[in-house]
Amino acid sequence: MEISNTSKTFIKDLAEFIALEYDEIITPLERIIESEDVAVFYDDYGNAFDGIIVYDSEFYIHINTKRGNRIETPRGRFTLAHELGHYFIDNHRNGLQKGLLEPHPSKNNEAKHQKIEREADYFASCLLMPEKRFSKDCYRRKFQFSIIEELAKKYHVSLTACAIRFADIGNHPIMIVYCESNQVKWNWSSIDFPFKYLAGKNNKIPEDTLVGEYFNTGKGERKTEQLWAGDWFNCFSHEDEDRQIYEHFIPYKNKALCVIWED
């Protein structure tokens, strides 16, 4: 379920107001936690979740170190910011306090169909990468993947989180595709990205792509390569099929992240 424009505006303004109270470029989540007097516990919870917030007379946040969510890592920071979204967004917090909402275990990189999980993700993105700062870092720059790497390092966030934020508010349209075991798990694109429909059927990865080759052969390395739009997308004309695009491909075991753009 998509977030309404009204909700997005409220969440963005709330998250960025909190972030911009601090001068640090890397949003100081620990100081925010201290100011709210919320207890946070880092522990090994197996593969159950990345993070969860519960209410029992007061709020407690549990962060799962087993899945890489340590306090200093980009993954751990996004998980904590996501749970803070449940705390700061009024209807989430009130629902948890009144027992109207069940505590929701969150998992990173999984498609989230529930509105409250999408809202918490959006809050986390705005908190960690406030538009006022992030947009200035994109201004009048010709896009290449190194910009995503630079901004991810600057804001201490993952490449995935940074790419999604760039797709939303950056200065060049891009699409992000996340794959596991030769299946497209989800994709996210800028509103003005020129292609909408992937060529693969039933979430199958298109074969004539870097990621398609990787899953078919088991071989591949992180790189950028120029392809044809028709390799990745269902196009409505031969002219569109022959448009040149770029795919930046990041493999990891049975997973891969792709960022696609047109020059």
* Domains in the chain: boundaries: 5-129, 133-262
Q: What is the CATH topology of the domain spanning 5-129?
A: Arc Repressor Mutant, subunit A (1.10.10)
Per-residue pLDDT averaged across 96-115, rounded? 78
Residues paired with 262 in a beta bridge: 245
Helix (H) or strand (E) holding 46: none
**What 3-state DSSP class applies to 51?**
strand
Angstrom distance (rounded) from CA 251 to CA 220: 7
When pLDDT is cut at 50, 70 and 90, the band that residue 113 belongs to is low
Q: How far is CA 1 from CA 117, 129, 158, 209, 226, in A?
A: 10, 23, 24, 29, 34
Asked: is 133-262 a CATH 3.30.450.130 domain? The reply is yes
The answer, yes or no, to whether residue 112 has pLDDT greater than 70, is no
Give residue 192's pLDDT: 96
Give residue 3's pLDDT: 87
The answer, yes or no, to whether residue 173 has pLDDT greater than 90, is yes
The answer, yes or no, to whether residue 157 has pLDDT greater than 80, is yes
Angstrom distance (rounded) from CA 247 to CA 208: 11
84 CB contacts (<8 Å, ≥6 apart)? 29, 32, 33, 38, 61, 123, 124, 127
Same CATH fold assignment for domains 5-129 and 133-262: no
Angstrom distance (rounded) from CA 256 to CA 219: 12
Q: What is the pLDDT of residues 29-65, one digit of tens each?
A: 999 999 998 999 999 999 989 999 999 999 999 999 9
Task: Tell me the pLDDT of the chain averaged across its residues.
Answer: 94
Per-residue pLDDT averaged across 143-167, rounded? 98
More confident site: 218 or 77: 77
User: How much is the pTM?
Assistant: 0.93
Give residue 110's pLDDT: 66
